[in-house]
Structure 1
Amino acid sequence: MMKASFKGKFDVDKSGSVASLTFNAGNAKLRATMTDASFVAGPSFNGLSLAVEKPGFFIIDYNVPKKDVRFQFMNTIRIAEKPLNLTYIHMRGDNRTIVDGSFVIDPANKLSANYMVGTKNCKLKYTYVHGGIATFEPCYDVAKNMWDFAISHKLYGGDNLKATYQTSSKMLGLEWSNNSKSTGSFKVCASMNLAEELKPPKLTAETTWNLEL
C-alpha cells in the first residue's frame, strides 16, 4: 500500500508546502519527502529527503541536497511495570545528539525530559490529563531557569484548543486544530509578544491532506 500526504503552510510573511509518499516494505516504511523548493526553479533535488522507518524502533533520514543523515532510535523499557519511552537522535551534519525520555506514571500523569548532549539545553516537563479532555503541561527550561506553560482542551468533533506561554520571550500563543486519520488535519495559530508594544497577533495556518493510493 502507498500513502500520500500534502501539507501547506500559510502566514503573512511566507507560505510553503511539503508533499510525501510512503511505501510499506514488510514491517518497515520507505518515505520520500519534497518541499516546494524541489519545483520552484524546475524539478531538482532541493528540498528532497528520503527515509526508512521501522515504527517504534528507528528512523533514518537522508537529506539529498545537503548529503546529511539524521538517525533516530526508539525503545521502551518498563520500570515497576510502567513504560519509560526513550528516543536517541543524532544529526551528523550539525554534530548534535539529543536524548528524549518520557515516563508514563498512569493515563493521567507523565514526566518527560529532553537533553542536548554536551550542552546545558535540558527541558523537564510534567503532563497532567484531567478527565481525558483537558491537559496541563508546565515545562522547566534548565538553561534559561524559566518556566513555560501549555493548556489544551478537547472539543466535540475532534477539535482541540491550546494556549501556550513562554516566560523567557513573553510569547503568548493560541492554537485551534483538528486531526483526522482518514482525511487530514488543519491548524490555525495566533501568537503575540507581550513584551512589545501592542500589535495585531501573527497568524499562521497549516493544513494536511492524506490519501491512500
Structure 2
Amino acid sequence: MNAAISFTGGSNSPDKDGVVGTLAILLGDLKLRASTTTTPASVIGPNSLADLSLSLSLEKPGSFAVDYDVPTKDVRFQFMNSVNVLDKRLNLTYTHARRANLTALDASLLLSPANKVWGSYGLDSRDCKVKYSYVQGGVRTFEPCYDVAGNSWDISVSQRILDGDVIRAFYRTSSKVLGLELLWQGANREGRFKISASMNLAEGLKVPKLSAESTWNFEM
C-alpha cells in the first residue's frame, strides 16, 4: 500500500493565510483521499468548525472519481474514457456536481507528441474553453487558452530546467493576474516542492501573493 501526503500554505495578508492538508492512500487500482482547508481563524476562533473545509474522495485513475464535500454535503461524480479518432487518442471526462448544479464535458485530443488540443463545455452554464498545447524541443511548453463566454485569453509558458524541474509563467487577461511557479524535486527524488507567486495587475503594484506546497511519497 502506497501513500502520498501534501501540505500547502499560502500568504498574502494576515487575513488570507491558509493551510491545506491532503492524505492520499493507494489501494490497488483505487485511491482514497482526504483534504482539509483551515485558516488561522478556524484554528483559534470560536467558529472553528464552520471555517473548516473537509472533502473525501474515491478515485480509480482514468476511470471514475467520486468527491464528497462534508460541510456542503455536495457529491461530485466524474467518469473518464478514451477512444481512438482517426488514429488519434481522444480522452473524455464527464463531471456532475449535484448541489452546485454543475454538468460539464472535457475532451483532450493528442494530435502528436508535441501538439495537444483540450476543450471544456458546461452543459448548464454553456461556458466553453479551448486550449492548445505545444511542446518545443521537449523542454518548453506554450499553452494559450481561450474562454469563449468571457472572450478572454489565458497564456502560460513553462520551461524544464535541471533534472526535470519546471518553471512556469502565466497571465490571465480576464482577471489581469500575472504569476510565476517553480516546481522541483528533492535530491532523493522522493518529494516534490512548489512555490508560487502571483499579482493582480488591476490592483496596481503590490506585494505578490506567495504560496508553498510540498508532496512526499512513501510506502506503508
Q: Which of 177, 195, 200 in structure 2 is aligned with 1:188?
A: 195
Partner-residue secondary structure (3-state), 1:7: strand
On the 8 A contact 2:22/2:34 being kept in 1, the answer is yes
Aligned to 1:107: 113
Q: What are the residue-to-residue correspondences of 1:1-213 with 2, within 5 Å?
A: 1-12=1-12, 13-24=16-27, 26-29=28-31, 31-35=32-36, 37=38, 40=43, 47-179=53-185, 183-213=190-220
- Distance in 2 (CA, whole Å) between partners of 1:151 and 1:18 is 28
Unaligned 5+ segments in structure 1 are: none
Change in CA separation of 1:8 and 1:117 when aligned onto 2, cut-off 3 Å: same
Change in CA separation of 1:125 and 1:154 when aligned onto 2, cut-off 3 Å: same
Partner-residue secondary structure (3-state), 1:157: coil
Identity %: 47
The offset of 1:9, in angstroms, is 1.7
On the 8 A contact 2:176/2:201 being kept in 1, the answer is yes
- Distance in 2 (CA, whole Å) between partners of 1:14 and 1:168 is 24
Once superposed, what is the RMSD of the aligned Cα atoms?
Answer: 2.5
On the 8 A contact 2:178/2:201 being kept in 1, the answer is yes
On the 8 A contact 1:7/1:209 being kept in 2, the answer is no
On the 8 A contact 1:47/1:65 being kept in 2, the answer is yes
Letter in 1 for 2:206: K
More helix by share: 2
Change in CA separation of 1:65 and 1:165 when aligned onto 2, cut-off 3 Å: closer
Partner-residue secondary structure (3-state), 2:203: coil
The offset of 1:51, in angstroms, is 2.4
Letter in 1 for 2:211: T
Partner-residue secondary structure (3-state), 1:195: helix
The offset of 1:130, in angstroms, is 0.5
Letter in 2 for 1:172: L
Query: Which stretches of structure 1, 4 residues or more, deviate above 4 A after TM superposition?
Result: 179-182
On the 8 A contact 1:182/1:210 being kept in 2, the answer is no
TM-score by structure 2 length? 0.84
Write out per-residue CA displacement over residues 84-134 of structure 1, whole angstroms, 9 at most, x where no aligned residue.
000011111111011110000000001110111122411111100011100
TM-score by structure 1 length? 0.87
On the 8 A contact 2:18/2:37 being kept in 1, the answer is no
The offset of 1:179, in angstroms, is 4.8
Q: May I ask how many residue pairs the two structures share in their alignment?
A: 209
